[in-house]
């Protein structure tokens, strides 16, 4: 069971990934984690990655695909995996499909979490977290507010706001999603492996939608 999650900022992709990994014992494959691990390895590929970083260049899709290929052939991926942060573009999706075909693997399920833009913005702008325990609150929604204004319920310390949790940053990230990642929806719909999930509802109901599709398809 292999899964790709497509979602705009604040749609709940991270939360959903955690739930699916727990429910189905899936491996979690993050391109960011793969790169961080690779740069510490003494291999030709690691040296190639470090060379790109030193030059201030983006790591090529071919290198990312090689890292992913090496990872999905490991034993813990035999039950399935969730791809986090990949693919982001049509070009990456096409190369990923070629790699899957070469290794006789299936793309599995592709879920797109649809969410209204203003709701997503509210989740971003209202997000606060405890610097001590990491618990996350949201001052835009009554059921996610702290009991005492701007104070962690557990640690009793002042909550903090990430620098990029603002409207300007959200608008830029959402625009990138629309321009670069959203076209993947059409790409995977044509392959008949894409499922739309309602991201405007409670996270438990959203998760149930996904589980129902997996267990009844």
User: What amino acid positions are annotated as catalytic residues?
Assistant: 13, 88, 127, 162, 173
Distance CA 169, CA 64 (A): 26
In terms of Cβ atoms closer than 10 Å to its own Cβ (0-12, 13-18, 19+), residue 91 is exposed
Per DSSP, 58 falls in state: P
Distance CA 194, CA 216 (A): 15
Q: Where are the alpha helices (DSSP H) in the chain?
A: 13-24, 31-38, 44-54, 61-72, 90-102, 117-125, 167-176, 183-189, 203-215
| DSSP-assigned beta bridge partners for residue 137 | 128
Residue 84's nearest CA partner among 146, 169, 17 is 17
């Amino acid at each position: 069971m292999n899964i790709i999650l497509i979602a705009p900022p604040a749609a709940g992709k991270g939360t959903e990934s955690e739930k699916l990994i727990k429910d189905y014992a899936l491996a979690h494959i993050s391109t960011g984690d793969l790169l961080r691990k690779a740069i510490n390895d003494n291999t030709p590929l690691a040296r190639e990655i470090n060379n790109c970083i030193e030059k201030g260049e983006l790591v090529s899709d071919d290198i990312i695909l090689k890292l992913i290929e090496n990872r999905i052939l490991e034993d813990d991926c035999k039950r399935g995996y969730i791809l986090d942060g990949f693919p982001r573009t049509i070009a990456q999706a096409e190369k990923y499909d070629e790699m899957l075909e070469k290794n006789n693997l299936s793309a599995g399920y592709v879920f797109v979490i649809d969410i209204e833009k203003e709701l997503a913005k509210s989740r971003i702008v209202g997000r606060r977290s405890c610097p001590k325990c990491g618990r996350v609150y949201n001052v835009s929604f009554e059921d996610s507010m702290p009991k005492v204004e701007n104070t962690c319920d557990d640690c009793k310390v002042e909550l903090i706001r990430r620098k990029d949790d603002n409207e300007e940053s959200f608008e830029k990230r959402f625009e990138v999603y629309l321009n670069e990642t959203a076209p993947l929806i059409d790409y995977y719909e044509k392959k008949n492996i894409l499922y739309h999930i309602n991201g405007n509802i409670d996270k438990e109901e959203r998760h149930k939608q996904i589980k129902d599709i997996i267990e009844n398809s």
